[in-house]
Structure 1
Amino acid sequence: MKNYDVIFIGSGHANWHAAVALKHAGKSIAIIEKDQIAGTCTNYGCDPKILLDGPFELLAQLKQYNGIGVTDKTTIDWTALMAYKHKVIDPLPIQMAALFNQLGIDVIMGSAQLVDKHTVSVNDQQISAENIVIGTGQRPAKLNIPGQEFLHNSRDFLNLEKMPQKIVFIGAGVISLEFATMANELGSSVEIVEFADHALGAFDQRHVAKLVDKLEQSGVKFHFNEAASQVISKNDHLEIRTNNNLQIETDYIIDATGRIPNIENIGLEKLGIKTNRGGIVVDDHLRTSVKNIYASGDVIDKQIPRLTPTATFESNYIAQQLLGSAGAINYPAIPSVVFSLPRLAQIGITSAAASESEEYHTQVIPYGKQLLFQYKNEIDAELTLILDKNNYLVGANIYGNDAPDLINLITMIIDGHLSANKLDEMVFAFPSASIGVISLISIMLHRD
Structure 2
Amino acid sequence: MKIDEHKGHGRLVDAHTVEVNGQRYTADYIVIGAGCRDSKLDIPGQEFIHGSKDFLDLASMPKNIVFIGAGIITMEFACMALDLGSKVTIIAHGDRALRQYPDKYVSKIVEKMEKQGAEFKWNENVSCIEKTDAGYKLATANGLTIMCDYIMEGTGRIANIEDLGLEELGIKASRKGIEVDDHLRTSVPNIYASGDVVNKRIPKLTPTAEFESNYIAAQLLGKSDAPIAYPAIPNLVFTLPRIAQVGMTIDEAKKDPESFRIIEVPFGQINEWVNNRELDASHTYIIDKEGHLAGAALYSSEAGMMLDALTLVINCRLTGADLEKMIFAFPTQTYAMISGLIPLLIPLGSGDSASIYTMMLDSLSD
TM range (shorter): over 0.9
- Kindly state the Cα deviation for residue 356 of structure 1 after the two structures are TM-superposed: 1.1
- Kindly state the Cα deviation for residue 115 of structure 1 after the two structures are TM-superposed: 0.3
Amino acid at match of 1:360: F
TM-score by length of 1: 0.76
Which runs of structure 2 are paired with 1:266-281 in the superposition (5 Å)? 266-281=164-179
Equivalent position of 2:236 in the other structure: 337
SS in 2 for 1:387: strand
Select 1:404's aligned residue among 271, 279, 304. Answer: 304
- Kindly state the Cα deviation for residue 324 of structure 1 after the two structures are TM-superposed: 1.1
Equivalent position of 1:380 in the other structure: 280
Q: 1:251 and 2:149 equivalent?
A: yes
Question: Deviation digits for residues 88-115 of structure 1, max 9, x if unmatched?
Answer: xxxxxxxxxxxxxxx2111100000100
Equivalent position of 2:255 in the other structure: 356
Select 2:42's aligned residue among 144, 147, 165. Answer: 144
CA contact (8 A) 2:130 2:136 kept: yes
- CA RMSD between the two structures: 0.9
Equivalent position of 1:283 in the other structure: 181
Separation (CA, whole Å) in 1 of partners of 2:195 and 2:94 = 27
- Kindly state the Cα deviation for residue 236 of structure 1 after the two structures are TM-superposed: 3.6
Select 2:320's aligned residue among 416, 420, 428. Answer: 420
Q: Identify which range, 191-200 or 221-230, moves more after superposition.
A: 221-230
Separation (CA, whole Å) in 2 of partners of 1:157 and 1:276 = 27
Q: Identify which range, 234-243 or 398-407, moves more after superposition.
A: 234-243
- Kindly state the Cα deviation for residue 276 of structure 1 after the two structures are TM-superposed: 2.8
SS in 2 for 1:324: coil
- Kindly state the Cα deviation for residue 185 of structure 1 after the two structures are TM-superposed: 1.1
Equivalent position of 1:55 in the other structure: none
Question: Deviation digits for residues 365-405 of structure 1, max 9, x if unmatched?
Answer: 11100000100100000000011111210100000101111
Question: Deviation digits for residues 26-84 of structure 1, max 9, x if unmatched?
Answer: xxxxxxxxxxxxxxxxxxxxxxxxxxxxxxxxxxxxxxxxxxxxxxxxxxxxxxxxxxx
Equivalent position of 1:181 in the other structure: 79
Amino acid at match of 1:348: G
CA contact (8 A) 2:240 2:301 kept: yes
- Kindly state the Cα deviation for residue 311 of structure 1 after the two structures are TM-superposed: 0.3
Question: Deviation digits for residues 272-323 of structure 1, max 9, x if unmatched?
Answer: 0111332100011100000000000000000010000000100111110101
Separation (CA, whole Å) in 1 of partners of 2:303 and 2:194 = 28
Equivalent position of 1:302 in the other structure: 200
Separation (CA, whole Å) in 2 of partners of 1:211 and 1:186 = 17
Q: Percent identity between the aligned chains?
A: 49
Equivalent position of 2:360 in the other structure: none
Gaps of 5+ in 1: 1-102
SS in 2 for 1:212: helix
Separation (CA, whole Å) in 1 of partners of 2:97 and 2:191 = 37
Q: Identify which range, 226-235 or 330-339, moves more after superposition.
A: 226-235
Equivalent position of 1:323 in the other structure: 221
Q: Identify which range, 341-350 or 271-280, moves more after superposition.
A: 271-280
Separation (CA, whole Å) in 2 of partners of 1:227 and 1:126 = 45
SS in 1 for 2:27: strand
Separation (CA, whole Å) in 1 of partners of 2:136 and 2:76 = 23
Equivalent position of 1:369 in the other structure: 269
SS in 2 for 1:192: strand
Select 1:429's aligned residue among 329, 338, 356. Answer: 329
Equivalent position of 2:19 in the other structure: 121
Equivalent position of 1:208 in the other structure: 106
Amino acid at match of 1:202: Q
Question: Deviation digits for residues 400-436 of structure 1, max 9, x if unmatched?
Answer: 1011111100000000000000000111111222101
Separation (CA, whole Å) in 2 of partners of 1:276 and 1:152 = 24
Gaps of 5+ in 2: 351-366
CA contact (8 A) 2:203 2:233 kept: yes
Separation (CA, whole Å) in 2 of partners of 1:281 and 1:361 = 36
Question: Where has structure 1 moved over 6 Å in runs of 4 or more?
Answer: none
SS in 1 for 2:28: strand
SS in 1 for 2:76: helix
Separation (CA, whole Å) in 2 of partners of 1:350 and 1:277 = 27
Amino acid at match of 1:140: D
TM-score by length of 2: 0.93
Amino acid at match of 2:120: F
Greater helix content: 1
Equivalent position of 1:45 in the other structure: none
Separation (CA, whole Å) in 2 of partners of 1:230 and 1:129 = 47
Separation (CA, whole Å) in 2 of partners of 1:360 and 1:204 = 17
Separation (CA, whole Å) in 1 of partners of 2:23 and 2:346 = 64
- Kindly state the Cα deviation for residue 446 of structure 1 after the two structures are TM-superposed: 3.4
Q: 1:163 and 2:87 equivalent?
A: no
Amino acid at match of 2:264: V
Amino acid at match of 1:161: A
- Kindly state the Cα deviation for residue 339 of structure 1 after the two structures are TM-superposed: 0.5
Separation (CA, whole Å) in 2 of partners of 1:344 and 1:405 = 12
Separation (CA, whole Å) in 1 of partners of 2:11 and 2:175 = 20
Separation (CA, whole Å) in 1 of partners of 2:332 and 2:24 = 57
- Kindly state the Cα deviation for residue 181 of structure 1 after the two structures are TM-superposed: 0.9
Question: Deviation digits for residues 226-274 of structure 1, max 9, x if unmatched?
Answer: 1111111111400111111111100000011100000010000010011
SS in 1 for 2:312: helix
Amino acid at match of 1:314: E
- Kindly state the Cα deviation for residue 162 of structure 1 after the two structures are TM-superposed: 1.1
Amino acid at match of 1:345: A
Separation (CA, whole Å) in 2 of partners of 1:277 and 1:398 = 32
Amino acid at match of 1:313: F
Question: Deviation digits for residues 177-233 of structure 1, max 9, x if unmatched?
Answer: 111111111111100000100000110111000110011111111111111111111
